[in-house]
Chains A and B, each alone.
Chain A
Amino acid sequence: MTSPQSAESSEASGRATGRLPGLHLPNVTRRRFLAWSGVAAAAAGLSVGATQVPWSTLLHGAAHTPLQPGQGVLVVVTLYGGNDGLNTLVPAGDPAYQSNRHELAYQPSEVLDVGDGLGLNPGMAGIKSLFDSGQVAIVRGVGYPEPDHSHFRSMAIWQTASPTSPTGSGWLGRWLDATGDDPLRAVSMDSVLPPLLTGERTAASTLPSAGLTLPTGPSGAAFRALAGVDPGDDTMRARVAQSGRDLAQVEQTLGPTLAASRKQSSATGNDAGNSAGAQSGGAHSQLGDQLQTVAALVEARVPTRVYSVSLGGFDTHADERGTQQRLLTELDGALTPFVQRLQNSDAGRQVVTVVYSEFGRRVLANASQGTDHGTANPVFFLGGPVAGGLYGEQPSLTDLDDGDLKASTDFRDLYATTLAAVLGTDPTRVLGPGRTPVPRLLTT
């Protein structure tokens, strides 16, 4: 984690050489100095003479330690809308599947065999080849007790890891709360922060969509000054100012890699997201770009331990087959080159990617060639530390709970596995007692 002292102190005192003590500075400078440096620094007699204070002054000397060998990195991929697990990991040979899914059903010859009578959706050719090389684990039948069929409630349950009261902090937000103040520990690649990365007192950072070019000159100075502390702020205003200080850290630590990655992406017309096929119509894949940026940041060994990306549109109540296969093809086209790229560096081999959705779909298709909200679903783990293969029990298609699949693995046990193996954190600090990590799924 960061150590908020010496770097800035020496820089500030160096700049202050030959100047009067802070007490005699003009009012504006003195006030800014107090606001930025805090009472402790003021008591130490430091002074800031320049009116144009660089970001580093805002950072309280936060010195980031690069990602260390052995420190795991987690990439969370959220599929919004409730991805149909039965048409993702398909029991194509099961007569009950064929009779429930009629027009929606894939034939055994169409799916990509992964054993146990199961096959991946035809859109997932890249993930199938990663599976064959032992880099993909699929945990079947994942859910939680008394499943909720509302997107928002069920997604909130997955993101807070709190089935009974899913309104508080996110599970990775609690990990942030438990591990310090550095805003770079977790980064959302989406500009709006997902609840899973929001803690009680800390939150992950986000990246500006238009790049990290900060204003310069007097406007830049003012922009930076807006990130200062004002004792008169209420909680909300303080959060606005805090977001400016977090931006400073993002810019300083991630900025150079981001700039290089964007340049690379525009130079090569990066269409990594579309390598798997033409179903996406040649459209640019935002997910593919986001994951390539994550790869670049990991390779640069920035200190970020958790990244969040997402893909939406899985709420397939109608005309599901084409829509879902197109989305899974986009996912496959983004994930496959990402996982392959990460195998080429030591830092990359520390990355575990998890793919989940808030629920699966009802076993019986509806009359609109779609499916309604269901329950248990497969969860995918990809990457170097993953011991590939099939885990958990495939839910029965005949022994149902009111038309829905029965879960056999609690998603919180997967979180516990991840917290322990990837983030090196005692799961009880985040999830409470009683969780059982899945043995051998991840190597540490």
Chain B
Amino acid sequence: MTVVPDAVATRRLLDRFGFGARPGELSAAVGQGFAATLDAMLAPAPSDPGVAATPPPALTSIANRGKAGTPAQKAAQQERAQGQNALTRWWLDRMWAAERSLPERLTWFWHGHFATSAQKVNQPAYLLTQNESLRRLGSGDFRSLAQAMIVDPAMLVWLDGRTNRVGSPNENLGREFMELFSLGVGHYTETDVREAARALTGWTVNASTGTARLVARRQDTGPKTILGQTAAFDAPSFVNMVVARPESAAFVAGRLWFRLVSTTPPPPGVLAQLTAAYGPGRDLGALLRAIATSAPFHDSATTLVKQPVEWAIGLMRAVGTRPSSVTTAPRARPVAATAAARADPVHQHLQALGQVPFLPPSVGGWPGGTSWLTPSAQLDRLALAQAVIAHAAIPPGPTGPNAQIDWARQVLGVDAFGPRSTDALRDVAGGDPRSVLTVAALTPEYVIST
């Protein structure tokens, strides 16, 4: 293995634990060094002016009005679409605006982990509530986060927890909680799923307030046997029991690793270090520190495909384009573009690339790794990069071809361009600096987090 220099590790940290550097941030972080940068990231957050200037939209529960096709129902549908659009626009702007990126990156990670889609949850206010919970609890202890998610209103709608009641359990939430959120497949049986569903009975969502509540007469209070333990499990005790299991520690560590480090799982020795740091307290901050200080994190071979949102937000941060300021839509609209998406070009470009926040393809979240490296993606990336860079708010670069290429490299925080990419950049260098940035954004050196 080749250990990367401290400056490269620091740049990698800004990529993987954030959404990449804004102008000036990389050189400042490199000046401080990797260790100090990591300490600052994990320290308790002071107020963030970028976040303060990006308040969430005001969303309220939307009542179901009238029968299909009536004006009242159409108005409700439009209200939902507008709310969802506002929510998506706000979060993309916030990812871009946050001076402290780690909380946003973790919220984004947990959104893919507890993947909940507006496709079924047609109350944007519920999704905002969930998003705020993920952000508030995302770097604390996993137990609290999991406790919040098992009775989260959006989750109760998404995985039918609200219809799960004594005598007629709905297995959806219990199964996905064990498989996708806390344990991983192979660590429970079908009987455990059926018993877990019984433990989670009784929770509903109050439609007018958008809050979850426990209805005693819907709850199954009898004893359940789950993962070999018998007790009168309810939602909190079920979550505590599952999260405390050693398989859960390895699973959670592995999921963070997959998204922040590499699609190659950590070797057993490294995984043991991660789960030891995570410990009985299920301490996510300690786990993140262990990940960042593990040997593979500093290995030059540990590359990672940027997901479309990560690539796009990173690019917009680097060139100073606020997502909601982009007005250039793709040449042709994706056929399935919703009314909400049509109003928002960045949303539309991301839809073409296959990744829109609040619209994961399923409860399993988005795919990873080379799934994003399709032939069509490079063309869709080009369209987004052109739109974003047309709205860039950065000083024009130098004029000489070589100086322009190096300027683009620094703007995007690329360590070095190889001969193929340098060669491609020379086709446009010496002309409009925006074209140089656009090509630089499509280089394999930038599409992949090295």
Contacts and interface: CB of A to CB of B under 8 A. Distances in A.
Contact of B332 (A31, A209, A239, A317): A209
Contact of B179 (A152, A203, A233, A318): A152
Interface stretch (A2-10, A113-121, A214-222, A331-339): A214-222
Nearest to B193: A149
Contacts, number: 221
Interface stretch (B13-21, B238-246, B288-296, B427-435): B427-435
Interface stretch (B3-11, B372-380, B392-400): B372-380
Contacts of A242: 373
B206 interface: no
Contacts of B68: 281
B303 A237 contact: yes
Nearest to B424: A225
A226 B364 contact: no
Contacts of B443: 226
A195 to B, nearest CB: 8
Contacts of B353: 191
A247 B376 contact: yes
A289 B376 contact: no
B123 to A, nearest CB: 15
A153 B442 CA distance: 34
Contacts of A198: 370-371
Contact of B428 (A32, A218, A366): A218
Contact of B163 (A81, A212, A228, A318): A318
Interface residues of B, number: 72
B362 A233 contact: no
Interface in A60-110: 80-81
A191 B352 contact: yes
B399 to A, nearest CB: 16
Best-surrounded residue of B304, B351, B364 (most CB of chain A within 10 A): B364
A192 B335 contact: no
A16 interface: no
B84 to A, nearest CB: 17
Interface in A228-242: 228-230, 232-242
B329 to A, nearest CB: 10
A100 B371 CA distance: 41
A40 interface: no
A227 B423 CA distance: 11
Interface in B384-436: 418-421, 423-428, 431, 435
Contact of A211 (B160, B332, B351): B332
B424 A366 contact: no
A367 B375 contact: no
B438 interface: yes
B236 to A, nearest CB: 23
Nearest to B165: A367
A139 B307 CA distance: 39
A28 interface: yes
A208 B442 CA distance: 16
Contacts of B383: 210
Interface of B: 68, 119, 159-160, 163, 165, 167-172, 175, 179-180, 185, 190, 193, 301, 303-305, 330-336, 351-354, 361-364, 367, 370-380, 382-383, 418-421, 423-428, 431, 435, 438-439, 442-445, 447-448, 450
28 contacts: A149-B193, A150-B179, A152-B185, A153-B179, A191-B353, A191-B374, A193-B371, A208-B379, A218-B428, A221-B427, A225-B423, A225-B424, A226-B420, A228-B423, A232-B418, A233-B418, A236-B305, A237-B448, A239-B373, A240-B447, A242-B373, A244-B375, A244-B378, A289-B335, A312-B362, A317-B170, A368-B163, A372-B172
